[in-house]
Amino acid sequence: MLNRAKFFLFGLVYAIVNLGVRAMADEPFYRIENPIKAGSFADVVKGFADLMVKIGIPLATVFLIWSGFLFVSARGNDEQLKKAKSTFYWTIVGTALLVGAYAIASAIVDFAKKL
C-alpha cells in the first residue's frame, strides 16, 4: 500500500514539474486540432446528420430488398411470412426515424443560424 502511495506521489510531482517546465517554453507542447473541420455547433449537427443518412439509407435499402426476398421465399408459409412482415415493418420504422431525425437536425441547424 505504501509503495502505491509513493508511486502516485512521484507521478503527481513528475506531472506537475513537467507541465510547469513546458508551460515556460515558447511553444505549447500540445495542439488540439479539429478533426471534423467544423466551425460551429450547426456544422457539427449537420455533418453528423449527413453521415447518418449516408450510412442509413443504403442500409435501409438493403433491408427492404432482404424483406422482399423473405416475402418471395416464404411461399405461403405463415411463419416465414410473419418474419418477412416483421422485417419489412421494422425497416420502414427505422427509415422513418432516420428521415425524421434528419429533418429535426436540419430544423435545429436552421433555428441556430437564425439566432
Residue 84 has pLDDT above 70, yes or no: yes
| Cβ–Cβ < 8 Å for 104, 114 | no
| Residue 5, pLDDT score | 77
Q: Is the dihedral of CA 89, 93, 94, 99 positive or negative?
A: positive
How confident is the model over 2-33, as pLDDT tens digits?
Answer: 577 777 888 877 777 766 655 555 555 566 67
77 or 114: which carries more pLDDT confidence?
Answer: 77
Claim: this prediction has a pTM higher than 0.85 = no
How confident is the model over 56-81, as pLDDT tens digits?
Answer: 999 999 999 999 999 999 988 999 99
| Residue 28, pLDDT score | 59
| Residue 76, pLDDT score | 86
The grid coordinates of residue 76 equal 405461403
